[in-house]
Amino acid sequence: MITVIHHDDMDGRCSAAIVRLFSARKDNIDFVEMTYKDPLELDKVKGSGTVYVVDFSLQNPGDWERLIESVPHVIWIDHHASAIAKPGPQNDLPGLRALDSGSAAMLVYKYLMNSEDAPRALQLVSDFDTWAWEKKNDLEPVHFMYGMQALPDEPESRMWTELLTSASSNKRIDEIVEIGKHIKEVKRRNDEHHLKNFSFETEFEGRPALAVCLGESSSFSFGDSITKYPFLIAFCEDGEKYKVSVYTKDPQLNLSKILMKYGGGGHSGAGGFTCMKLPFKHAQ
């Protein structure tokens, strides 16, 4: 039996779907979707011969040790700089960890298929998640992401089978991209209204920041404000802790390192953490 622990975004779900589609054992696979605030529940991996941890790293002290002791084989595939830099027994696990070779889904594909010839849908997932679309000046990965939000993208979905293995997938991808264009415009208008009414200036790490109370966010949520502030912050509360997402376009700021002091991490331009008290306040 295989269990796949994966992050709760498109790259994480695509990573898990690739394990389902391309691993040597395609039957009897369970999926455990996690956020970075979730504790490891060993009951969910009990009986597994192999556990893949993809696009994710266990956060709580001792979780990696408990997982490694409980399962015969653990494979870890990730591309988050802060997770890869963190010391621990996970660094000795088989798998693939790299910072400049695409998203986690791309790394999973390379690990399982030993191939650089990625399907188009996988390239779109990877380019969106790593912001390669911005360097290429190509919005297709962004539109694909928004289109996928309107479709069932859980790892078990037949959608991934069609997108990653079908010879006729290009037509379906084009349809998803067109859907995404419309969704992105609706989202842009909603975000613009929300930012106008609920954002405020503050300070983070000694620099100006724009913060907004918003649960699900991306850098797109801030529109052109991302070019006006060193930090953009979206935060929300679940009744116990705050979830904080931080974005920057400043090449001098590396969020994967900055956010480690708050128990979080991510990439150089985007990351997050959870906390009991927000480390910023409304500007007086």
For the stretch 206-258, pLDDT in tens is 999 999 998 888 888 998 898 999 999 999 998 889 999 999 999 899 998 99
Pairing of strands 207-213, 199-204: antiparallel
pLDDT at 283: 47
Mean pLDDT of 45-52: 93
Residue 43: both structure tokens together? 């009951």
Q: Which residues, 6+ apart, have CB-to-CB distance to 201 below 8 Å?
A: 208, 209, 210, 211, 229, 283
pLDDT at 265: 87
Task: Examine residue 179 and state whether it is found in any structural domain, yes or no.
Answer: no
Task: Examine residue 205 and state whether it is found in any structural domain, yes or no.
Answer: yes
Count structural domains, the chain: 2
Mean pLDDT of 95-108: 95
pLDDT at 201: 94
Check pLDDT > 50 for residue 284. Answer: no
Check pLDDT > 80 for residue 27. Answer: no
Instruction: Please classify residue 23 by burial: count the beta carbons closer than 10 Å to its beta carbon, then call 0-12 exposed, 13-18 middle and 19+ buried.
Output: middle
Q: Please check whether residues 121 and 261 belong to one and the same domain.
A: no
What Å distances lie between residue 132 and 11, 101, 125, 164, 267, CA to CA?
A: 14, 11, 10, 20, 13
Question: Which pTM was predicted?
Answer: 0.84
Check pLDDT > 80 for residue 123. Answer: yes
Percent of the chain with pLDDT over 70: 98
The CATH number covering residue 130 comes to 3.40.50
Range of the domain at 81: 2-166
Of 120, 150, 166, the position where a domain reaches its end is: 166
Pairing of strands 242-247, 231-237: antiparallel
Q: Please check whether residues 128 and 238 belong to one and the same domain.
A: no
Strand partners, 233: 211, 246
Pairing of strands 270-275, 265-266: antiparallel
Task: Examine residue 130 and state whether it is found in any structural domain, yes or no.
Answer: yes
Residue closest to 107 by CA, chosen among 124, 126, 132 = 126
Q: Please check whether residues 13 and 87 belong to one and the same domain.
A: yes
